[in-house]
Amino acid sequence: MSSRIAEHVRSIPRSGIRDFFEIVQSMKGVISLGIGEPDFVTPWHIREAAVYSLEKGRTGYTSNLGDPRLRRSIAKYVEKHFSLAYNPHDEIIVTVGVSEGIDLALRALLNPGDEVLYHEPCYVSYAPSIALARGKAVPVVTRAEDEFVLRAADLEKAVTPRTRLLMLSFPTNPTGAVMPPDELAKIAAFAVKHDLVVLTDEIYSELTYDALPHHSIAALPGMKERTLFLHGFSKAFAMTGWRIGFACGPSDIIEAMMKIHQYSIMCASTMAQEAAIEALERGQRSMERMREEYRLRRNFIVSSLNEAGIPCHLPKGAFYVFPDIRGTGMTSKDFSLALLKEKNVAVVPGTAFGASGEGYVRCSYAAALDQIKIAVERIAEFVKK
């Protein structure tokens, strides 16, 4: 029997993370550094705002683009923190997490066969989302010795006449990489030269450490009109389960995204939108408290891993470290599986984030300090053996 599943869906492999997750689920007492979400519960004042909105009976649909109050809050927040001015009337759309924003953008912008450049190792959904939008995913490698910074020179080697889009995500999951401003400027010039639209997923942008400022490519001269800025609440405000994010960009792109959103989603969850307003208006303090906690844990895990003889650079953002396990002579997958079986510690194989993640594993430090401590001790014992 010929498959009844559409070809382009069949072409997408199952997520490597999912396979791994199922093994972990079947085991007991695993200490996990494999979790890509904050270990904090959403700050109480944000939860309380959602509870209040339910008590008030705000349970209907909102505008397709999102509650106008939230869009105004987003405009104010993005202007203050990213120096980007967007009109809440037609340049902002509220989405079900950044994930939906990426999907909408790709579907709105790609014709079949259009090529999309993105950097690897990267978040697991980029290549499949491009394939689902009938585009062609073209990964560009970033390197450990370069702290996983994306180089314009590498993009030049990958660009073709079919290239339509460039996807960026800094700070990066899984490497924690951030872009130095001068290299970001070169990438902006590259995008202008080849007339590309840029999708920039800045979900981790609040989480840069040691007072390092975050720069959005959208704020560089000449970039705003060709850039779609994607952001959300999951990481900075510990709101993963609320599924709430937003996209800001030129009104023609937002309008096109809105059409898809309108017919597939209608609008993001109303109570999540209420919570999001609270996060933007009064969440700065809780965000800073969590960021400080991540910063300390990052220091802790990086020094512990290096002390254990596992080379690990100090990432400047996000909440992951990406240690180099090549010294063990194992592949990322074998290492992760053996570590799980022998020491009950879960990390994610680097190859889950693209082929260039081979030789590395991702450890999340969005976990309680005592858990991180035990996990690293066990990793050290494992590597010694």
Partner 1 sequence: MDSLIRILRQNSAIPRADLARLLGLTEADVVAQIAKLEADGVILGYHAVINSDKWDAEAVTAAIEVRVSPEREGGFDRIASRIAGFEEVESVYLMSGGYDLLVIVNGNNLREVASFVAAKLSTIESVLSCATRFRLKTYKENGLHHAQEEVPERLSVTP
- Regarding 272 and contact with partner 1 (CB under 8 A), the answer is no
Contact 247, 103 (CB under 8 A): no
Q: Taking CB under 8 A as the rule, does residue 292 contact partner 1?
A: yes
Instruction: Pick between residue 47 and residue 76 the one whose CB is nearest to partner 1.
Output: 47
- Which one of 73, 269, 304, 351 is in contact with partner 1 (CB under 8 A)? 304
Q: How far apart are the first and last CA of the chain?
A: 49
Part in contact with partner 1 (CB under 8 A); list of ranges 69-77, 156-164, 247-255, 344-352? 344-352
Q: Which of 113, 252, 369, 381 binds partner 1 (CB under 8 A)?
A: 369
Q: Rule CB under 8 A: is residue 83 a binding residue for partner 1?
A: no
Residue 17 binds partner 1 (CB under 8 A): yes
* Chosen residue from 78, 94, 124, 238 binding partner 1 by CB under 8 A: 124
User: Would you count residue 286 as binding partner 1 (CB under 8 A)?
Assistant: no
| 3-class secondary-structure state, position 385 | coil
The residue from 64, 300, 308, 324 that contacts partner 1 (CB under 8 A) is: 300
User: Is residue 39 a contact residue for partner 1 (CB under 8 A)?
Assistant: yes
- In which region does residue 314 sit, left (phi positive, over 0), alpha (psi from -120 to 50) or beta (all else)? beta
Does 30 bind partner 1 (CB under 8 A)? Our answer is yes
Q: CA-to-CA distance for 248 and 91, rounded, in angstroms?
A: 6
Q: How many residues bind partner 1 (CB under 8 A)?
A: 30
Given a contact cutoff of 8 angstroms between Cβ atoms, the answer to whether 202 and 230 are in contact is yes
Q: Applying CB under 8 A, does 125 fall inside the site for partner 1?
A: yes
296 touches partner 1 by CB under 8 A: yes
Backbone angles phi, psi at 227, to 5 degrees: -120, 140
Q: What is the Cα Rg of the chain in Å? A: 21
Supply 311's token pair: 């080379």
Query: Distance (Å, rounded) from C-alpha 261 to C-alpha 270?
Result: 15
Q: Is 234 in the site for partner 1 (CB under 8 A)?
A: no
Alpha carbon distance 162, 352 (integer Å) = 27
Contacts of 311 (CB under 8 A, 6+ apart): 305, 323, 324, 327
Report the interface residues with partner 1, using CB under 8 A.
15, 17, 20-21, 24-25, 30, 32, 34-37, 39, 41, 123-125, 173, 292, 296-297, 299-300, 303-304, 346, 348, 352, 369, 373
